[in-house]
Amino acid sequence: MSELRIEKVLNAPVSKVYDAWTQKEHFEAWAGPKGFKCTVKEMSVEADDGIHYMMANDRGYEMWLKSTYLEIVPNEKIVFIEAISDADGNLQKPPGAPDWPSHLHHVIEFQELHGATKMILTASGHETDEKEDVAFDMSKDRMKMGWDGAFEKLANHVEGSIQ
């Protein structure tokens, strides 16, 4: 099974970076690639609960996502599975990508680094077959580009605006 791993050092304390992932108003400020805005419909940061949100750009493209938290360790780790959904939360495959994994597994780790935060994202297909693994592997560069843009927005947010 293939995975995507991204490490980012943010010039902000772990608590601020963790809050940016777990508080609606902060999550909406940065989530999604550059050029996309995030709107959270529902968010409950407890194991077995989750987040349902939309990312949209100014050209009218919208993508709904629904995540279920598997493990929450405040200021240390967030583990969740995520799937594409519709506005009502019904899970669906992305249009034009029949081999895309139905769920992605994400682990976000937060490490204190002399007043800054080292954040590590690991993503992989969740309970996938061979075709889904290939589709995930072929999309890693695009996913990394999207996450890099989101993490740049996250850095701007936590390094300046969270009080």
Q: Is the pTM of this model over 0.85?
A: yes
Rounded Cα gap, residues 21 and 7, in angstroms: 16
Dihedral sign for Cα atoms in the order 114, 5, 33, 141: positive
Topology of domain 3-33+69-82+94-158, per CATH? Alpha-D-Glucose-1,6-Bisphosphate; Chain A, domain 4 (3.30.530)
What digits encode the pLDDT tens for the residues 38-92? Answer: 999 999 998 899 999 999 999 999 999 999 999 999 999 999 999 999 999 999 9
Rounded Cα gap, residues 132 and 47, in angstroms: 26
- How many other C-beta atoms are found inside a 10 Å radius of the C-beta of residue 56? 16
| 85 in Cβ contact with 65 (< 8 Å) | yes
Locate the domains of the chain by residue range: 3-33+69-82+94-158
